[in-house]
Structure 1
């Protein structure tokens, strides 16, 4: 029933948290508790908000824990700030209001008792900042000290766009598609259903953002329905599991041979995969080794399909060992197929006595859904663990890998373009119009995300994939008025962001019109076999390095950013 289903869902959540804590502790990523001793809440909060050291008066380097965080994750702090802005802004506004109420009560108490406690000096020099508490003022100062609010707001918008696409396009509309699939194939023979499931599964797998879970669950509901008379229930489930495994392996083969190998000559493909990144270089070392290891299989199963399979294609690895290493995915497929199977069994009509044919099917479906979530999370955690451990254990092998020079040049051009974009969109030099355009875009995105998150059941009609009619699958009726309101906020936010980006692109192009050259400097240490294998180093123009050189054999000059 609903009670045990809710309990099992809670158990799944607690299991995920427990696994996360276990992995976190195993990888020695925890910090000593004594580093927190003597640190007040205000100090800890302020050092987090100022973790990049932008406020020189209170640098986070005074505390060991924040020094470690800054050294390891400093480049990603704006990403975290953007996530905080998009998720916690309403709560932070409520926090400011509580601080205001707190300070007002202090003023009233000071006025009644004629006391000079609690910032009563504010009566002498009026400032709006004195209407919030000292701790809050310190946190507001740290917020204002951020280097580039525009960058944080843009990242917040990208977080919101990703959430909305995953919440609406992937989650909700995939359910609509699979409901239509189940409704369409309910009266078809097993052979036709197999072909339809195979084609739809291959199509969804070749979309980078679509997970495999909904495909397996839908197959678990459709295949037994079509094959129960010819194969029996148990035979239909086994047949469905093997079909899902074949779909998965065929999708990986197409991603590797067609996309990876077929497009490996294109710099854009290799850049999109990130062949020069430390993560992909580590994966490259692990998946290229002969034989089958736990680390190799964990990466092939737990890492996202697209980067992993396409990387194997770019490296032109043998297909058969890669597919063999991917076969443990069956331990994730089995519980997902059983989730769909028991959901189908629960949807069967009552017998002649009015009793449910399988009264515990809903409970079993929930149990296998929990097992599916745990298996999926465990595979991802195992992949992350082995990538981290192998990056340290095989550091020398990773460093010896050659750098893709064409991708390196493209990344360097992109870096210079991004630097110009950052310079052109500095918050202090932005106009009032562009600032408020970005702010309103963030507000609209926050409204959209909050509506979709907290009132999701009122935004979209509930679809039971096992019992749907053609009218229920109608997209226009599937989205409720509140859902259209949320999507309207999303469109407004994206439109305002587009306006801002058009302005930013124009300002960036103005900077890029200036003469700019990229030079490749040969590394003498590498040529003498005294260093790493990176023969070329990038050097930007300076007084010591003029824009032109008379010895082209030593340095290769590339044109301005406006040319190829």
Structure 2
């Protein structure tokens, strides 16, 4: 079944390469990882071959392949005179004329003239319809992407192999930590845990970067999202395959820091991420496992005398079912609700942000304002948008690049280079002012003891982050938090922790080079005459991808540094502090209610109606999240129409606009998914209120005998 699915996926992906240019690299990753897993499980199992030897050899093979591919590509350019130039571009375009005819079947048009391949601008007849213009532009971009990838594919594949070599090398170093006497020193296991945790954070960072750069390039963002999700599953499978959670628990039972890391992997939040990530694949896996057991029975591999012969699941499947039966499903479902609501809010927020910036872009362009007035207005808009938690900073930078990129090309204006510099300066100024405003919001919010408790000012992880942020100067771990962390939450947290504003701004300064300038440049490139062409699109995608990868790497690094600080200064960070006495007192007062709520939300103690309500809320948000994620990753949209900052609301839908109606942004399936998500939100609130009421009732009825808290509740007759 796995081979059949892989073959179908490979065939479908090959047919869709023109629409999904990132599929080639993703397939290379997927097939390579699947091949490594197959070799490790079937031919070089952990019991026979050490993980360090296996992954070390695999890493070396990928490194050699990367070296040979890139070397051959460079040599080919020198020998055949195929270095990137206008002649190379024209030759590739001519040889791929059939691609243009395939994506735009109209013999009356000429590829070189329509797409400006001969060095001239595109000149289309005035009487051509908007739909035909959009079709030609799409055909040009797809065709140019094809032959550009033909030229760059060996280098791209070499980079893919180099990345795989690096990942396998990390796994080899992690596996080396497992080669020790279980009764001896367990320091190696801590290294394994830290490496794996950092890798998981890196993948989560990639997924966060997907929405961070989505305003600039939806193709890059969907590729990052798919790569991050697939890689995170691979890392978790590596951990399970190499040492298993039972051995992990035994090896770390005596070390507080290692136990805290294990608790992260076993936490309900991590389980909620796994369930939400696998989504519809969980019942599919269950059905496939039952089918596998039937096949084993029919082929005689499962004997009638076997202990598990009558079990509908295989031995491996039953182990998974048994493990999942011990999970706190109410807590997991409620956390799935929160994650699903956050995901839907981010997706909808990104779409609405693009529409708002597109409208503002058209309005400012039509007003024909002076450069100074335009600068002041863009600065004001940027500040307002920065204060909205769901608006990513990249959308603000991209908007500034589009506005000043177009303004700078007008006759008598400052010129394109100065326009990019001006947009970067204004975006940087807005970012610094916004940091101060967000800091002020956090400072005021931090006066509330409840807010301090919510952010965990008395918890070790938050105190470790505070210790890093309080460093003076441009310390790399401090810079990583301030630059790679989400814009609004990071600055607000600095205000709650009462950090020094000048030091916060100093640590934030590198964001200018890491994020602001690249995103502004991408937005400005979109306004050039050939800014939407295949090649310029690939350049913009590369800049966007680089910004996203730097963002993910920075998140991985500061997570690793937080773990190191916790390991080194954990006891001191856990010590009580006088300034947090009020938080500790509030936690103590709420402890009885928290215990009662945990007791009320224990799955065996819940009534049938409560279980149904909690499950239905999670199911609604899982379904809505899956639909939105599929729409986000696919080129053929079915929830939200493709709409970017440079699109025009008044343009026809066929030309990438909204036909002067913002409601056209959402398609029929999108409205249905939003309705399902809203139903899940209402059910989530209802379930939370119900459980809270049960906990309060139980608490008031047992106030005379608090020792009864923790005992099973009497089920509702409902």
Q: TM-score range by the shorter chain?
A: 0.7 to 0.9
Deviations 1:467-526 (A, max 9, x none): 313363533110000111111211222222223222211101112215669xxxxxxxxx
Matched, 1:387 2:562: yes
Residue 427 of structure 1 is aligned with which of 578, 582, 603?
603
Quote the Cα distance in structure 2 between the aligned partners of 1:12 and 1:419: 55
Aligned counterparts, 1:349-428, within 5 A: 360-393=535-568, 398=573, 402-403=577-578, 404-428=580-604
* Cα pair 2:473 2:507 within 8 Å, conserved: no
Structure 2 equivalent of residue 83 of structure 1: 273
Alpha-carbon distance, 1:97 to partner: 1.7
Structure 2 equivalent of residue 105 of structure 1: 295
Residue 302 of structure 2 is aligned with which of 112, 118, 121?
118
Structure 2 equivalent of residue 32 of structure 1: 177
Structure 1 equivalent of residue 263 of structure 2: 74
Paired positions, count: 487
Structure 1 equivalent of residue 356 of structure 2: 177
Quote the Cα distance in structure 1 between the aligned partners of 2:317 and 2:270: 20
Alpha-carbon distance, 1:179 to partner: 1.6
Quote the Cα distance in structure 1 between the aligned partners of 2:455 and 2:581: 15
Matched, 1:462 2:638: no
Distance 1:178 1:129, change over 3 A: farther
Structure 2 equivalent of residue 522 of structure 1: none
Residue 622 of structure 2 is aligned with which of 446, 450, 455?
446
* Cα pair 1:345 1:361 within 8 Å, conserved: no
Quote the Cα distance in structure 1 between the aligned partners of 2:298 and 2:467: 67
Alpha-carbon distance, 1:153 to partner: 1.6
* Cα pair 1:87 1:446 within 8 Å, conserved: no
Quote the Cα distance in structure 2 between the aligned partners of 1:82 and 1:177: 33
Quote the Cα distance in structure 1 between the aligned partners of 2:618 and 2:261: 28
Distance 1:30 1:383, change over 3 A: farther
Alpha-carbon distance, 1:412 to partner: 3.4
Quote the Cα distance in structure 1 between the aligned partners of 2:427 and 2:162: 25
Query: Please, which moves more after superposition, 190-199 or 365-374?
Result: 190-199
Structure 2 equivalent of residue 556 of structure 1: none
Distance 1:11 1:319, change over 3 A: farther
Distance 1:425 1:120, change over 3 A: same
Deviations 1:416-447 (A, max 9, x none): 43322110121112111221222222222222
Which consecutive residues of structure 1, in runs of 5 or more, have no partner in the other structure? Answer: 38-43, 54-58, 111-116, 349-355, 518-539, 544-564
Matched, 1:209 2:386: no
Residue 2 of structure 1 is aligned with which of 127, 138, 145?
145
Structure 2 equivalent of residue 340 of structure 1: 523
* Cα pair 2:402 2:526 within 8 Å, conserved: yes
Distance 1:36 1:84, change over 3 A: farther
Structure 1 equivalent of residue 671 of structure 2: 484
Distance 1:210 1:512, change over 3 A: farther
Quote the Cα distance in structure 2 between the aligned partners of 1:508 and 1:86: 27
Residue 475 of structure 1 is aligned with which of 645, 649, 662?
662
Quote the Cα distance in structure 1 between the aligned partners of 2:158 and 2:269: 28
* Cα pair 2:459 2:574 within 8 Å, conserved: no
Aligned counterparts, 1:294-313, within 5 A: 294-313=476-495
Alpha-carbon distance, 1:462 to partner: 0.9
Residue 197 of structure 1 is aligned with which of 378, 386, 389?
378
* Cα pair 1:285 1:397 within 8 Å, conserved: no
Matched, 1:501 2:688: yes
Query: Please, which moves more after superposition, 263-272 or 68-77?
Result: 68-77
Alpha-carbon distance, 1:202 to partner: 1.2
Quote the Cα distance in structure 1 between the aligned partners of 2:697 and 2:645: 54
Structure 2 equivalent of residue 161 of structure 1: 341
Quote the Cα distance in structure 2 between the aligned partners of 1:201 and 1:451: 31
Quote the Cα distance in structure 1 between the aligned partners of 2:259 and 2:569: 25
- Secondary structure of 2:337's counterpart equals helix
Quote the Cα distance in structure 1 between the aligned partners of 2:283 and 2:310: 15
Deviations 1:526-545 (A, max 9, x none): xxxxxxxxxxxxxx9889xx
Matched, 1:252 2:435: yes
Alpha-carbon distance, 1:91 to partner: 1.7
Distance 1:283 1:413, change over 3 A: same
Residue 222 of structure 1 is aligned with which of 399, 403, 412?
403
RMSD, matched Cα: 4.1
Distance 1:130 1:284, change over 3 A: closer
* Cα pair 2:649 2:662 within 8 Å, conserved: no
Matched, 1:139 2:320: yes
Scaled by the length of structure 2, what TM-score is found?
0.60
Which consecutive residues of structure 2, in runs of 5 or more, have no partner in the other structure? Answer: 1-143, 183-235, 652-656, 709-718
Scaled by the length of structure 1, what TM-score is found?
0.74
Distance 1:204 1:102, change over 3 A: same
- Secondary structure of 1:130's counterpart equals coil
Deviations 1:359-399 (A, max 9, x none): 84323222211222123223323333433334445557746
Quote the Cα distance in structure 2 between the aligned partners of 1:497 and 1:158: 9
* Cα pair 2:443 2:495 within 8 Å, conserved: yes
Distance 1:161 1:191, change over 3 A: same
* Cα pair 2:452 2:583 within 8 Å, conserved: yes
Structure 2 equivalent of residue 325 of structure 1: 507
Matched, 1:277 2:459: yes
Alpha-carbon distance, 1:247 to partner: 0.4
Alpha-carbon distance, 1:460 to partner: 0.8
- Secondary structure of 2:683's counterpart equals helix
Structure 1 equivalent of residue 423 of structure 2: 240
Quote the Cα distance in structure 2 between the aligned partners of 1:277 and 1:335: 36
Quote the Cα distance in structure 1 between the aligned partners of 2:455 and 2:476: 23
